[in-house]
């Protein structure tokens, strides 16, 4: 609402009068609207808005392969719609990156609902901090239920998951600081946080940033621990991958993040080179097949030409014998390369003349 008031004129009509501040707002509103429209137009023109769904759900386990989209791009038909198909594939690739980053390393995509590769826990058992209390063993069932995991908080269930996964890989019963124990603890955190994210997404499709940020940080920390363990003890590294069902893939990091245009140009160039090599291979195979088919014919022609040459040489020898100019060869002439070369060099030095200059 403008800060104005109504004033009656002498003829009885009403006149709206505004304060100087209100008039300034009215005058500036048009320029601000134009500025906002201009800014929005630039954003749409440059494509700065997100054109993909970063909250896209990934359910196909094949997408966990780092080379999945490259294989699909290589299998697309190379026709007029190839670039458009690459654009559609790029939108799917970018949209699935976030979900794959969170779940691909633990192979959580494609599993049955509620399965996050966490150990089985009997929720009727007492909480972790009450398991060694002797008095609970003789208590009634109603009292045991109060101190059970089923009637506890989520953190009680999480603590049991952590302990179970650490106990499976730790070196001894006092181990709590080895790389294996730390990796198991990080894995339990990642998987139960992922389960919590999926549970929260049932109410709101957007991923909760407070949890996804934690998952991202712990994923990087666990990958660092796995790299150290791989450098120190490769057998223990393979064992913990098998025990905890972790997918560790060494992917060469790109020099910089490729845009859609750069990725499309790269895949197009790669596909053209592959098609060229395939066609060259087809031509080579067809040439070999044709050569094998024509080889007997070529051999017959060579024999005919050889026989014809022998007849001509024989006729020449007969003519030479009739004319009496037959000279028998005695041995093979061997050139004296060093002496002849030396003579040629000396003659060039002694009898060398510059090329005459044209007087025209």
Within a domain: residue 189? Answer: yes
Which of 96, 125, 144 is the last residue before a domain boundary? Answer: 96
Q: Give me the half-sphere count of Cα atoms (radius 13 Å) on the Cβ side of residue 128.
A: 13
Which of 221, 246, 271 is the last residue in one of the domains? 246
Tokens found for residue 28: 């500036």
In a domain, 269, yes or no: no
- Give the per-residue pLDDT at 144: 80
Domain membership of residue 360 (yes or no) is: no
The tokens 């049991």 sit on which residue? 160
Range of the domain at 223: 154-246
Alpha-carbon 207 to chain mean position: 23
Domain annotation covers residue 287: yes
Mean pLDDT per block of 10 residues along the chain (360 residues) reads: 46 50 50 52 50 76 86 87 87 85 84 82 82 80 82 85 88 86 92 90 84 91 92 91 87 68 86 90 92 90 93 86 71 72 77 61
Query: Residue 219 is part of a domain; what is its CATH number?
Result: 1.10.287.10
Per-position b or e across 313-327, b if 16+ CB within 10 A of its CB: eeeeeeeeeeeeeee
C-alpha separations of 144 from 31, 147, 151, 154 in Å: 71, 5, 10, 18
- Report residue 318 as tokens: 């007969």
HSE of 358, CA atoms in CB hemisphere, 13 A: 1
Q: How large is the C-alpha radius of gyration of the chain?
A: 43
Q: Are residues 91 and 158 in the same domain?
A: no
The verdict on 181 and 241 lying in the same domain is yes
Q: Is residue 32 part of a domain?
A: no
Residue holding tokens 């040459």?
Answer: 309
Provide the 8-state DSSP code for 206. S
Residue 139 lies in a domain: no
Neighbouring CB atoms inside 10 A of 140's CB total 7
Based on the fold, state whether residues 159 and 239 are members of the same structural domain.
yes
Closest CA to 161 of 139, 190, 132: 190
Chain mean position to CA 82: 19
Residues 284 and 205 occupy one common structural domain: no
List residues bridging with 14 in a β-sheet: 8
Distances (CA, A) of 196 to 60, 87, 100, 155, 158: 21, 33, 17, 12, 11
Q: What are phi and psi of 123, to 5 degrees?
A: -75, -10
Domain-terminating residue out of 246, 271, 303: 246
- Does residue 123 form part of some domain? no
Write down the residue that tokens 């799917």 correspond to.
92
pLDDT of residue 93: 87
Under the phi-then-psi rule, with left for phi > 0, alpha for psi from -120 to 50, and beta for the rest, what region is 9?
A: beta
Beta strands in the chain (DSSP E): 4-8, 14-18
* Residue 283: per-residue pLDDT: 93
Residue 182 and residue 239 in one domain: yes
Q: Tokens for 27?
A: 């005058």
- Residue 183 is predicted with a pLDDT of 92
One DSSP character per residue, 235-303 reads: HHHHHHHHHHT------PPPSSPPPHHHHHHHHHHHHHHHHHHHHHHHHHHHHHHHHHHHHHHHHHHHH
Q: Which residues of 72-99 are buried (b: 16+ CB within 10 A; e: fewer)?
A: bbeeeeeeeebeebbeebbebbbbbbbb
| Structural domains counted in the chain | 3
Strand partners of residue 5: 17
Residue 216 and residue 285 share a domain: no
Q: What is the pLDDT of residue 357?
A: 60
Asked, for residue 180, whether it belongs to a domain, the answer is: yes
Contact 57, 92 (CB under 8 A): no
């Amino acid at each position: 609402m403008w800060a104005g008031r109504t004033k009656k004129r002498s003829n009885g009509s009403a006149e709206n009068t505004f304060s100087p501040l209100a008039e300034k707002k009215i005058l500036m509103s048009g320029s601000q609207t134009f500025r906002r429209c201009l800014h929005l137009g630039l954003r749409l023109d440059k494509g700065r808005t997100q054109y993909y769904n970063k909250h896209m759900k990934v359910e196909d386990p094949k997408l966990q392969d780092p080379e999945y989209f490259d294989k699909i791009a290589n299998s697309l038909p190379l026709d007029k719609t190839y670039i458009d198909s690459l654009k559609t594939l790029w939108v799917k690739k970018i949209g699935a990156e976030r979900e794959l980053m969170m779940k691909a390393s633990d192979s959580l995509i494609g599993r049955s609902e509620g399965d996050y590769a966490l150990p089985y826990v009997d929720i009727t058992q007492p909480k972790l901090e009450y398991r060694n209390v002797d008095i609970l063993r003789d208590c009634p069932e109603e009292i045991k239920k109060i101190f059970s995991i089923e009637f506890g908080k989520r953190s009680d269930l999480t603590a049991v998951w952590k302990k179970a996964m650490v106990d499976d890989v730790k070196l001894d019963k006092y181990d709590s600081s080895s790389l294996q124990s730390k990796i198991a603890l990080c894995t339990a955190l990642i998987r139960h946080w992922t389960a919590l994210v999926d549970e929260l997404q049932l109410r709101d499709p957007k991923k909760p940033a407070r949890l996804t940020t934690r998952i991202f940080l712990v994923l990087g920390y666990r990958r660092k621990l796995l790299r150290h363990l791989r450098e120190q003890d490769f057998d223990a590294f393979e064992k913990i991958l098998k025990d905890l069902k972790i997918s560790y893939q060494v992917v060469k990091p790109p020099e910089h993040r490729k845009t859609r245009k750069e990725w499309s140009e790269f895949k197009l160039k790669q596909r053209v080179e592959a098609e060229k090599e395939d066609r060259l291979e087809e031509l080579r195979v067809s040439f070999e097949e044709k050569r094998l088919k024509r080889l007997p014919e070529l051999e017959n022609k060579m024999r005919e030409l050889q026989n014809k040459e022998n007849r001509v040489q024989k006729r020449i020898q007969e003519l030479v014998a009739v004319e009496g100019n037959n000279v028998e060869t005695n041995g093979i002439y061997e050139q004296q390369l060093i002496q002849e070369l030396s003579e040629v060099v000396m003659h060039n030095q002694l009898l060398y003349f510059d090329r005459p200059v044209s007087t025209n």
